[in-house]
Amino acid sequence: MVNNTNCEDLEKRIKEIEKESIELKWAEEAFRKSEEKLKNILHGSPIPTFVIDNIHRVIYWNRALEEYSGIKSKDIVRTDRHWKAFYDEKRPCMADLLLDGKIDDIPQWYPGKYMASDLIEGAYEAIDFFPRMGPSGKWLYFTAAPLKDSEGRLIGAVETLQDITETKKAEERIKSLSRQIIDIQERERESLSREIHDNIGQLLSALKMGLSRINKKMPDELSTIKDQLSELAYLVNKTIKEIRGLSHALHPPLIKDLGLISALEELCQEFKSYSEIKIKWNFEQIQKPLQSITNITIYRLFQEGLNNILKHSRATEAYLTLTSSENTINVIIEDNGVGFLVEDVFSLLKNTKSLGLISMRERLALIGGELKIISGPAKGTKLIARLEKE
Ligand SMILES: Nc1ncnc2c1ncn2[C@@H]1O[C@H](COP(=O)(O)OP(=O)(O)OP(=O)(O)O)[C@@H](O)[C@H]1O
Ligand SMILES: [Mg+2]
């Protein structure tokens, strides 16, 4: 005989199972819809994006990336050939390196082109040129981030790309224009310097000789006039020296004739002659011949550094060095003076007039160099510049 209670229990259990199965269907449907939604968002996004799973197989390849790479999603999804969009030979993309936790290998594949993302933990960004993309190559800024499930397990990686070719081209144009401006400025200075030296300098020398001739012919009885003539000759002489100094400051003729080191030594000797500040220097001869823009940049750096020491530092000592290693040139200009707040000089809001240090930084950047400034109130000042040997 069938037990009544058992029958009821069974019916109840069947109902429960039916309910559970409906709920499961709903959950599945909701999951499918949310996955579909995510796919649509990714697919419709104007940012070229791809996603790989934990065994480096592409699971998403959006429309924007199809456009960029010329590779259709259907031809690449479920393969591990995403590298084909960027490179000629098989190699890891940033997303692959992150997926394998090979952070230490990033420098090898993206030397000097990458950095850790400030925004997303574990993500990395890089900028690189891809000659195969587009008619004449593209500059891409790309970010890769690891993807984790709710338990923190690594389940894949996503990579987004941004075309920065136009920005790069604009940067290059600005760079080349700045270089031209500096070239023109130096040429103008050179011609002005020659003009002052050759023309005004010659005229003043003639004046000096004329005064001395008249003085010699003057009878000794006219001693007051003779004294006045001597005074005039002294002033003319002083003016000649000033003019020579100005002409040299505008364009150091020694760089071309005797080389950078002699020009720098001359600069220091001049400084010594008109300043109380004790100056020491150590300029190492650079074996490799440098481009004239590099020579002039180094010279202008020391010139501006010394001008600043004279004008602002109230130092008692200054020390200048020029050293070089296999690939770099190092410049140090140091004083023990009052120092200053570096951020004030480079703040657009606070500083409008001072151009010396800013233009030094710009000049260096144009030839791939950099300027570090260590200073602070009562801490003295140290300018450290590093330039690549061409
Ligand atoms: N060696 C130094 N010691 C103390 N203060 C300095 C030194 N060098 C620079 N400064 C400070 O930094 C400021 C900016 O220097 P910068 O050379 O850029 O401009 P500037 O010398 O004022 O003007 P210029 O455009 O003629 O060079 C100076 O006004 C000064 O306050
Ligand atoms: Mg200055």
Q: Give the model confidence (pLDDT) of 243-287 as tens digits.
A: 988 888 888 877 888 899 999 999 999 899 989 999 999 999 988
357 Cβ closer than 6 Å to some ligand 1 atom: yes
pLDDT of residue 348: 64
pLDDT of residue 257: 80
- Ligand 1 atom at minimum distance from 338 CA: 4
**Same domain assignment for residues 66 and 113:** yes
302 Cβ closer than 6 Å to some ligand 1 atom: no
313 Cβ closer than 6 Å to some ligand 1 atom: yes
**Same domain assignment for residues 343 and 361:** yes
Whether residue 8 lies inside any domain: the answer is no
Closest CA to 99 of 45, 57, 42: 57
Cα–Cα distance, 147 to 39 (Å, whole number): 15
341 Cβ closer than 6 Å to some ligand 1 atom: no
- Ligand 1 atom at minimum distance from 335 CA: 1
Gap from CA of 339 to ligand 1 centroid (Å): 10
Q: Which residues of the chain have pLDDT under 50?
A: none
pLDDT of residue 265: 94
Ligand closest to the CA atom of residue 307: 2
Final residue belonging to a domain, choices 163, 180, 214: 163
Of how many residues is the chain composed?
A: 390
pLDDT of residue 79: 96
Tens of pLDDT, residue by residue over 178-222, are: 888 888 988 898 888 888 888 898 899 999 999 999 988 888 888
pLDDT of residue 3: 67
382 Cβ closer than 6 Å to some ligand 1 atom: no
Q: Name the residue of 313, 334, 343, 345 to mutate for ligand 1: max ligand atoms within 8 A of Cβ.
A: 345
| b/e sequence 346-382, b meaning 16+ C-beta within 10 Å | eeeeeeeeeebbeebbebbebbebebebebeeeebbb
**Same domain assignment for residues 145 and 258:** no
pLDDT of residue 355: 83
- What CATH number should be reported for the domain holding residue 330? 3.30.565.10
**Same domain assignment for residues 297 and 374:** yes
**Same domain assignment for residues 219 and 270:** no
Contacts of residue 91, defined as CB under 8 A and 6 or more positions apart, other chains included, come to: 83, 109
Gap from CA of 335 to ligand 2 centroid (Å): 14
pLDDT of residue 352: 67
**Same domain assignment for residues 390 and 258:** yes
294 Cβ closer than 6 Å to some ligand 1 atom: no
Gap from CA of 264 to ligand 1 centroid (Å): 20
Gap from CA of 308 to ligand 2 centroid (Å): 5
pLDDT of residue 301: 95
Contacts of residue 321, defined as CB under 8 A and 6 or more positions apart, other chains included, come to: 281, 282, 283, 284, 330, 331, 332
Task: Give one DSSP letter per residue of 117-147, joined into a string.
Answer: -SSSTT-EEEEEEETTSTTT-EEEEEEEEEE
Range(s) of the domain holding residue 154: 45-163
In this structure, the number of other CB atoms found within 10 A of the CB of residue 86 comes to 19
Cα–Cα distance, 318 to 19 (Å, whole number): 87
Cα–Cα distance, 146 to 33 (Å, whole number): 24
C-alpha angle 98/102/104, rounded to 5°? 120
Final residue belonging to a domain, choices 236, 251, 266: 251
**Same domain assignment for residues 88 and 125:** yes
Q: Name the residue of 316, 334, 357 to mutate for ligand 1: max ligand atoms within 8 A of Cβ.
A: 357
Whether residue 76 lies inside any domain: the answer is yes
- Name the 3-class secondary structure at 265: helix
- Ligand 1 atom at minimum distance from 315 CA: 3
Final residue belonging to a domain, choices 226, 251, 276: 251
Whether residue 7 lies inside any domain: the answer is no
**Same domain assignment for residues 95 and 154:** yes
